[in-house]
Amino acid sequence: MKPYFILPFSILAKPIRNAGILSIPILLGCLISFAVFAEPSTNAIKIGALLPLTGPAATTGEQLRKAISLAVDDYAARTGVKSEVIIEDSKNDPAEGITGFRKLATLDRVNSVIVSLSGVSQAVAPIANSEKMPTFALASAPILTKPNDYALRWFIDGMGEARTMADYLSAKGLRRVAIMHINDDYGRSLLKEFNFRAKAKGINIVSVEGFDRKTEDFRSLAFRAKKAKPDAVYFIAYGRPLGIALRQTFESGIKVPYVTTFGLDIAGTKELAGEAAEGLVYTSIAFGEGVPVSESTQSFTKRFNEIYHTTPSSDAALAYDLTTRLLSLGDSQASPREWVGQKIETQFGKLTVLKSLEVLAPVVLKAIENGHSTIVQP
C-alpha cells in the first residue's frame, strides 16, 4: 500500500544520528503505521451523468436524475458505501454533450458515465473508447462506433420497436402508413428499420415528414400527411415534440389510428397529446400502468413516489437498474466488454449482455384506453 507522501531521507537522517541506533525501529514502526492508515480502505465511487436537464427533453433528464439519485441513496442504505454523482447538462445537443463528457472524464475523473438519448450517446461514444472511459447509454439507437469496447447501451431496443410496430400494422391490415419522425439519430435509425420491415410486410409508406427536436408547429406536416390519405400515422419521436405533434395532427382532422414509440412514456408527453392519445398504440417495456408488478418494480415505484411525489417513467426504471449495477462494481474502470455473456438481474428479469455491448429490455405493445395504458397482443 502506498502512503500519500514520502519523507526525504535527509529529514530522517539527523534524528537517527542524534537518537542513536535504538531509535531506528521506532521510526520505522511510525512510518509503517503511517503508510497503512493514511490511505483509505476503499476508494470513493464517482459516477458522471450526462442528462438533458434543459431544452425540449428536460422532462426526460429530470426523471433520470431522480432515478440515479435514488439508486445511490438506496445502495448507501444497504451497504454503507457512499458515492458521488456529478451531473452535466447535455441539453440533448451532441456538441454540448461532448463538452460535458470531456469535463466528467478528465476534470472530474469519474469512474464511469451514464449518457441519455441517442444523438448525444453516439457523439460521445468515440471519445469514450479513445479515453477508455466506461460509458453507458440510455438510448434507443445502437452505438455505431467501431471498434467499440467502452460504450454499452442499456435501454429498450429501438430497432425492435420499429419491427414490432411494422408487424402490428400489417396484422391489423393498415397498409398505407404516413410517418412523422424526429430528425436525429433516434428518428433516422427507427425510420430506416421500419422501412426495411414494412417492405417485407407489404406496407406502403405514403408520406414521410421529418422535424427538428425544437419544432413547435406541426400543422403543415400534418396537412401533407393528410393529403396522402393514410390508413395510420406512425410518430417516431419522444417527449415534448411527440406530444405536440400528436395533438396538432389530431386537430388537423386526421382520424386514422395513431401509433408511436417508447417516447410516449416520457413524463408529460401523454398530457401534451391530449385527445390524440386516446386509442393510440405504442411500443414500450413491461413497466408502469397496465403491467403486472414484480416485487422489485413495486419497491422502486413506491420509493420514487414517496420521495419525489410523482410516478416514475419507464426510462427512470432502466436508469435505476443501471446505476445500481455500476455501484456494485465499485471504482472499477474495466471495459464493459468483460460483461459479455453475463446475466444481470433487473426489474425486467435477467437480461443478457450481448456481444454488441447491449443490455436490452424486451419490447411490448401498449394501448391507451379510457386514459389508461394496457398491454395489447401484437
Record the cell numbers describing residue 329, joined without a space. Answer: 462494481
Q: What are phi and psi of 5, to 5 degrees?
A: -150, 165
Q: What's the pLDDT tens digit per position in 349-358?
A: 899 999 999 9
The answer, yes or no, to whether residue 12 has pLDDT greater than 80, is no
333 pLDDT tier (thresholds 50, 70, 90): confident
What residue type is 218 in one-letter code? F
- Look at 8-22, 233-247, 363-377 and tell me which has the smallest mean pLDDT: 8-22
- What residues are paired with 48 via a beta bridge? 86, 113
Q: What's the pLDDT tens digit per position in 126-137?
A: 999 999 999 999
- What residues are paired with 84 via a beta bridge? 46
Instruction: Give the whole-number percent of the chain exceeding pLDDT 70.
Output: 88
Domains of the chain: 9-38 (no CATH), 45-156+294-361 (3.40.50.2300), 159-288+365-376 (3.40.50.2300)
- 17 vs 305, residue with greater confidence: 305
The answer, yes or no, to whether residue 97 has pLDDT greater than 70, is yes
Determine the pLDDT at residue 10.
36
| Contact (Cβ atoms closer than 8 angstroms) between residue 182 and residue 210 | yes
| Contact (Cβ atoms closer than 8 angstroms) between residue 90 and residue 51 | yes
The answer, yes or no, to whether residue 32 has pLDDT greater than 60, is no
Determine the pLDDT at residue 43.
62
Characterize 110-124 residue by residue with b for buried, 16 or more Cβ atoms within 10 angstroms of its Cβ, and e for exposed: bbbbbbbbbbbbbbb
Q: With the C-alpha atoms ordered 302, 307, 308, 309, is the resulting torsion angle positive or negative?
A: positive
pTM of the entire predicted model = 0.83
Task: List strands edge to edge, sheet with 258-260.
Answer: 204-211, 176-182, 232-236, 258-260, 281-284, 364-369, 372-376
Record the cell numbers describing residue 166, joined without a space. Answer: 411494422
Record the cell numbers describing residue 205, joined without a space. Answer: 409508406
Determine the pLDDT at residue 273.
96
35 pLDDT tier (thresholds 50, 70, 90): very low
Q: What's the pLDDT tens digit per position in 157-209?
A: 999 999 999 999 999 999 999 999 999 999 999 999 999 999 999 999 999 99
What would the DSSP string read from start to end of 53-96?
-SSTTHHHHHHHHHHHHHHHHHHHHHH---EEEEEEE-TT-HHH
Q: What average pLDDT does the structure give for the chain? A: 88
Q: What's the pLDDT tens digit per position in 113-122?
A: 999 999 999 9
Report the candidate in 312, 233, 315, 231 with the shortest Cα–Cα distance to residue 276.
233
33 pLDDT tier (thresholds 50, 70, 90): very low
| Contact (Cβ atoms closer than 8 angstroms) between residue 120 and residue 94 | yes
139 pLDDT tier (thresholds 50, 70, 90): very high
Instruction: Give the whole-number percent of the chain exceeding pLDDT 90.
Output: 78
d(CA 63, CA 56): 14
Record the cell numbers describing residue 62, joined without a space. Answer: 429530470
Report the candidate in 168, 165, 200 with the shortest Cα–Cα distance to residue 181.
165
Determine the pLDDT at residue 294.
83
Q: What's the pLDDT tens digit per position in 246-262?
A: 999 999 999 999 999 99
